[in-house]
Amino acid sequence: MSEIPEYNPTDLDRAAVQIVLERITESQSSAPECVVCGQRANILDRFGACSKTTTAHQEHRAELEAEENIMQKRSR
């Protein structure tokens, strides 16, 4: 059985990766950003947050939902 050679990236590999990363960044530049974490997402919820369910995201949604409920009660 032969050994698998160790991969050693070259400067050419790094340059190619950099080009790809720049293209990805450019293609995502118009996507909206999550107000909680700043991640670009195709779709944000009504609170301006991405689909993550971290504690910070949950707290943000809960705070804004509570504010919505207060505003709805006041408008009645």
Radius of gyration of the chain (CA): 22
**pLDDT, position 66:** 94
Distance (Å, whole) CA 7 – CA 11: 13
Domain boundary assignment for the chain: 28-74
pLDDT digit string, tens, across residues 16-65? 889 999 999 899 899 999 999 999 999 999 999 999 999 999 999 999 99
Binned at pLDDT 50, 70 and 90, residue 1 comes out as: low
Q: Give the containing element (helix H, strand E) for 23.
A: helix 11-28
Amino acid at 37: C
Binned at pLDDT 50, 70 and 90, residue 2 comes out as: confident
**pLDDT, position 35:** 98
Distance (Å, whole) CA 32 – CA 34: 7
List the structure tokens of 6.
């160790």
- Name which of 14, 54, 23 is nearest 36 in CA terms: 54
